Amino acid sequence: MSADVMGLLEFDRLLSEDELLIRDTVRAFVADRVRPHVAEWFEQGTSPRGLARELGKLGLLGMHLTGYGCAGTNAVSYGLACLELEAGDSGLRSFVSVQGSLSMYSIWRYGSDEQKDEWLPQLTQGEAVGCFGLTEPDYGSNPAGMQTRAVRDGKDWVLSGSKMWITNGSFADVATVWARTEDGIRGFLVPRGTRGFSASDVHHKLSLRASTTSMLSFDDVRLPGSALLPGARGLSGPLSCLNEARFGIIWGSMGAARDSLETALEYARWSFTRAFCSRSISRG
């Protein structure tokens, strides 16, 4: 039986009935659909694309956003969901964070009405997967140094460059990509299959192995003017999305810490019991 370490803090009494229901629903999902398979996913170094629809049916994708089929939950509920997901595996929480707080949030906050209508209902149901292209091979922690560029060509844009360490990248249906333009840094929606757009997975990672991580390449990708996110201009756009994601990441880290402590306690209990039984048998 798992040790109830959160019970020591009387954490549940701080939560509403709705928050407890969401917490327990996600915990049951992780126990049933994640824990039995996560070791296999770790060895394969990939994440199961098929879980997206299941997560969508539970209302976990973009759950803190409103409209377009999003659940519109409060911040604590979103945090509790991330905590339980990462207690199962960090890669699963990463998938949900990228989908909801980066891909969906960038469209929800900065997209046109047409972009929102096209993508948000699909993303919230898990019928489509999104990714967020900001980090580059040489500018991981310094997005201001990005080299990816988008140049106007009539009514179109031509996008060139690359992005690195992109969660969900190779199987995403749409990528939010940030690039330098003559008007500063702007965001673009690039659907999978667009000519000149390709993705390749990063292999042999030490951690987050049950998460698909990719490199995105843009070889003179021609995009219509409607691909531009009209509401974002400058680094404040992508950085605000990162801030949105950090909330779930912090809660997720508590889930990983809780699971590690519970596992350590279970192992200590098993070791003590085994040693005690062995000593009793040896004494006859």
More confident residue, 141 or 57: 57
The amino acid sitting at 95 is F
pTM: 0.91
pLDDT of 8 = 65
pLDDT of residue 111: 98
Domains defined along the chain, listed by start:
7-128+238-277 (1.10.540.10), 130-235 (2.40.110.10)
Lowest mean pLDDT segment, chosen from 33-42, 126-135, 155-164, 265-274: 265-274
Mean pLDDT of the region 107-116: 98
Q: Which residues pair with 180 in a beta bridge?
A: 149, 185
Say if residue 7's pLDDT is above 90.
no
Q: Flag whether pLDDT at 4 surpasses 80.
A: no
Do residues 209 and 42 touch, judged by C-beta distance below 8 A?
A: yes
